[in-house]
Structure 1
Amino acid sequence: MESAICVLVSQFKIYAGSDGSSDTLSRDEFCRLITSELPAFVKNASDPAAINQLMSSLDKNNDGELNFMEFWQLIGHLASKQGGFSQ
């Protein structure tokens, strides 16, 4: 599990850092991350409107970016769904 956490954190920073700040994902960075890393886990991952809607639902402070904790909510949801824990 430790290695899985390290991968999630490093991938977040790689994608977030493409515009210079590794602390948040912009809309474009989030789109690239989803389409490259999670296409089988995110429904309609190739649909920009679906990605925009997903990002808006995760962006709790409405700043147009996702910090790691906002992003982590998606990871938790996907892991729960994959494990059969969500209804």
Structure 2
Amino acid sequence: MSISLVLACFWAVVANVLAMTPSSDQHWRSAYVLIAVGIPVLGYVTVQHGPWVGMLILAAGCSVLRWPVIYFMRWLRGAAVRDAPE
């Protein structure tokens, strides 16, 4: 197994452990750190194994960090509605 996939698996294990720990801010601080670390790991996996494996890792990361993704999609949808011509 390549080092990029090992890092992606380690990221997934850390994300699951952080999800099991109690948190006063509903895990948002952990989510920000996981996003900041996960983006370079995702890029590294994509460079080494191609876009299909990169998309699988992206889907796995989105399933772990689903609420930040949901809020980002809501924000994008709101920005699209505000910028639409009348």
Question: Quick check: which has more Rg, 1 or 2?
Answer: 2
Higher strand share: 1
Answer 1 or 2: which has greater helix percent: 2
Q: Which has the higher contact order (CA 8 A, sep 6+)?
A: 2
